[in-house]
Amino acid sequence: MSVLTLTRGVTADNRPSGRARGPRESLLSRGAATLIMVVFTLYFLVPIWWLFISATKDRSDLLTTNPLWFADWSLFENIGALFSYNDGIYAKWILNSLGYAGLGAVLATVFSGMAGYALAKYQFRGRELFFNVVLGGVLVPATALALPLFLLFSQVNMTNTYWSVLLPSIVSPFGVYLTRIFAASSVPDELIEAGRLDGAGEVRTFFTISVKLMTPALVTVFLFQFVTIWNNFFLPLIMLRSQELFPLTYGLYAWNTQLNQIPELRTYVLVGSLVSIVPLIVAFLLLQRFWRNGLGAGSVK
Amino acid sequence: MTATELLVTKTARRSASSRRDTSRRGAGRRRPQHRGAIAFFTGPFAVLFALFYLLPIGYAVWQSLQVIERDGTYGAPRQVFGGLQQYVHVFENGEFWASVGRMLLFGVVQVPVMLGLALLFALLLDSPILKGRRFFRLAFFAPYAVPGVIAAIMWGFLYSPNLSPFTDVTRAIDFLSPQAVLWSIANVVTWVFVGYNMLIIYSALLAIPAEVYEAARIDGAGQIRIAWSIKIPMVAPALVLTTVFSIIGTLQLLAEPQVFRSFSSAVSSTFTPNMMIYATNSIPNLNLAAAFSVVLALATFILSFAVLRGSQRKAQS
């Protein structure tokens, strides 16, 4: 509707002059567009480049040499020192982060996939109520739950444990929402019926046939949940006291708060930050197909 | 939940709606048989959801209705029902409302700037006049792979006079002064999230069918004209979604300002509502912290609801 009116407007006032102006305008705007994009490319990439360069320098070069170019190459010494500092606590943090985010996202995907599938494919009492309550859960931001979870876990003396960060991370209402919708459209009832006629149990049918058809949705749920847990800061901050339990983000935060007392931490914070984001950037590049499709899924008509 | 998630699900639902009716009809017939399977499928999620969503929320509401009483000054503390007393404390707490006001000011400036940039970049990526689109798309999205804590540490180093490599700049401008620090944090948030919002708007642009442009092109409309009159109105729903989720993100801000406390004394322990909750909990005053949480969650709901409603009304008029 609005498009039609708008194009009519375009017809009325712009035709002759628009054509005459065409090539020059496009040359000018081509230059302007590229200039804008190049300037902002610098804005987005220079901080990461600076972090990389800083991580290759030893402590004396850090503030005295050109911040955006290499001095003496000591990246590997720095990484070695980072991993040996404080009995290798940094490696422990990496493992913790991978554990919280990896295990949490896998379990969240399995459980919400199963629930979403059941909601899509079976009729049972209270199904819509169940789904609506889950939908309400989708709207609760993760940070809003951190304090309530802390209050609850301290009631049962389970704060400052792996469980206190892992268990809340394996609930993904969004995952149930997405997999229900996806299963409804991508898993045909006939296929489940065929499985029944062959004598396969419901659970076996799900794990052997339906899961394959639901893969795109399950991958999306996994990726979102992984990033959410990896970036989560409030929950570990409020739950954990012992640094052996910290994820990477909390560990680096803790080091950063001690910069003034322990100056050698400066290098470790920088190198540690770099080491912690490189795998994520690589993973984003490799999984480009998935997140692009995930984001683009909204546009498929 | 993020804007992406909503976008993903919206279409999935659209394509699913035709099928759902048949599945319901078919399912009705076999209701009694599969009790065991249904319990197996939904059980684990239902238990976890009840334990780690419903129970904590309910418990926080209950805690917010309790007060601590002592027998005399040194008596043992007892927790007793106090009605809405904690909420009276919340509404009388100047620091809390100052932090909410600070985040509203932050949001009023940062959200339009961030989304304006995201829209501009998405339009440029979508226009035929730009070369190297694939590279720009990746470069702009890269910061999204950096967690908020790490991004704040990086920018904190770049900002602080005694750590920054760019001493000429930091000597001229004090990014960490009480006047500037809010906007320095806004820059960190913008840096991380512009590319992400750009991609959401960009995928909405890709969804516009080519026929829509044809008439305009035949009429000789320039790229700017097409962007302004056709593209922007058509991606309005994506803009509303990104706005709502940016508002929620702003009110929930915690990691970046918490990191900045190491770099600037201008960031107090009660700088944002969530930092206030964390600080109150550490005192410890659990009951008041719970009441803050409940109020903040409600405020977030109301604000995003208002934006959604406002935009719907605008669309109708």
Whether A156 shows a pLDDT value over 60: the answer reads yes
Residues of B in contact with A298 (CB under 8 A): 4, 7-8, 10-11, 200, 203-204, 207, 238
- Chain B residues touching A253 at Cβ < 8 A: 149, 153, 255, 258-259
Least-confidence region, from A48-52, A233-237, B58-62, B218-222:
B218-222
Q: Stretch B282-294: mean pLDDT, rounded?
A: 93
CA B73/CA B95 separation, integer angstroms: 26
Between chains, do B255 and A249 touch, taking CB under 8 Å as contact? Answer: yes
The pLDDT score that the predictor gives to residue A104 is 96
pLDDT at residue number A291 = 59
Cβ pair A184:B20 closer than 8 A:
yes
- Pick left, alpha or beta for residue A87 (phi over 0 → left; psi -120 to 50 → alpha; otherwise beta): left
Residue A69 has pLDDT above 90, yes or no: no
Average pLDDT rounded to a whole number, residues A166-180: 94
Report the pLDDT averaged over residues A235-240: 96
Does A173 sit within 8 Å of B300, measured CB to CB? no
**Mean of all residue pLDDT scores within chain A:** 85
Residue pLDDT, tens place only, B105-143: 999 999 999 999 999 999 999 988 888 888 999 899 989
Residue A13 is predicted with a pLDDT of: 37
Region of A199 on the Ramachandran plot (φ > 0 left; ψ -120 to 50 alpha; else beta): left
Q: What is the pLDDT of residue B224?
A: 81
Contact call for A285 and B138, based on CB within 8 A: yes
**How many Cα atoms sit within 13 Å of A188 on the Cβ side?**
4
pLDDT higher than threshold 70 for residue B54? yes
- pLDDT greater than 70 at residue A98: yes
Q: What's the pTM value of the predicted model, to 2 decimals?
A: 0.85
Residue from A291, A227, A279, A271 nearest A85 by CA: A271
Is B27 close to A285, i.e. CB distance below 8 A? no
Rounded to the nearest integer, the mean pLDDT of chain B is 86
Q: Given this model, what pLDDT does residue A300 score? A: 33
The alpha-carbon gap from A87 to the nearest alpha carbon of chain B, in Å, equals 22
Chain B residues touching A281 at Cβ < 8 A: 142, 145
Q: Kindly provide the residue ranges of all beta strands, DSSP E only, lying in chain B, ordered along the sequence.
A: 66-70, 77-81
- To which H or E segment does residue A8 belong? helix A2-55
CATH level 3 topology of A79-299? MetI-like fold (1.10.3720)
State residue A8's pLDDT score. Answer: 33
Partner-chain contact B5 A224, CB within 8 Å: yes
pLDDT for A56 equals 93
Token pair for residue A298?
């909204």
The mean pLDDT value for A223-231 works out to 88
Q: Which of B234, B8, B248 is nearest to B122 (CA)?
A: B234
pLDDT at site B24? 46
Q: Count Cβ atoms below 10 Å from residue A95 Cβ, excluding itself.
A: 13
Per the DSSP assignment, residues forming a β-bridge with B67 are B80
Given a cut of 90, is residue B312 above it in pLDDT?
no
- Chain A nearest-CA residue for B159: A47
Residue B29: the pLDDT is 47
- Tens-place pLDDT, residues B167-189: 888 888 899 999 999 999 999 99
Give B140's Cβ-side CA count (13 Å radius): 30
Across B60-79, average pLDDT: 86
CB A58 within 8 A of CB A72: yes
pLDDT at residue B82 in the model = 87
d(CA B9, CA A17): 44
Query: What is the nearest CA distance from A203 to chain B, expressed in angstroms?
Result: 6
Structure tokens at A188: 């045909």
Nearest CA in chain B to A20: B220
Distances in Å between the alpha carbon of B4 and those of A188, A296, B92, B220, B269?
27, 9, 38, 35, 32
Q: Which of B29, B128, B310, B1 is nearest to A189 (CA)?
A: B29
- The pLDDT confidence band at residue A23, using thresholds 50, 70 and 90, is low
Which positions in chain A touch B79 (Cβ < 8 Å)?
none
Predicted confidence (pLDDT) at residue A90 exceeds the cutoff of 90: yes
| CATH top-level class of B87-316 | mainly alpha
| ipTM given for this complex | 0.85
Angle at B205 between CA B202 and CA B210, to 5 degrees: 145
Crossing angle (nearest 10°) for helices B181-206 and B133-141? 140
Domain regions of chain A by residue span: 79-299
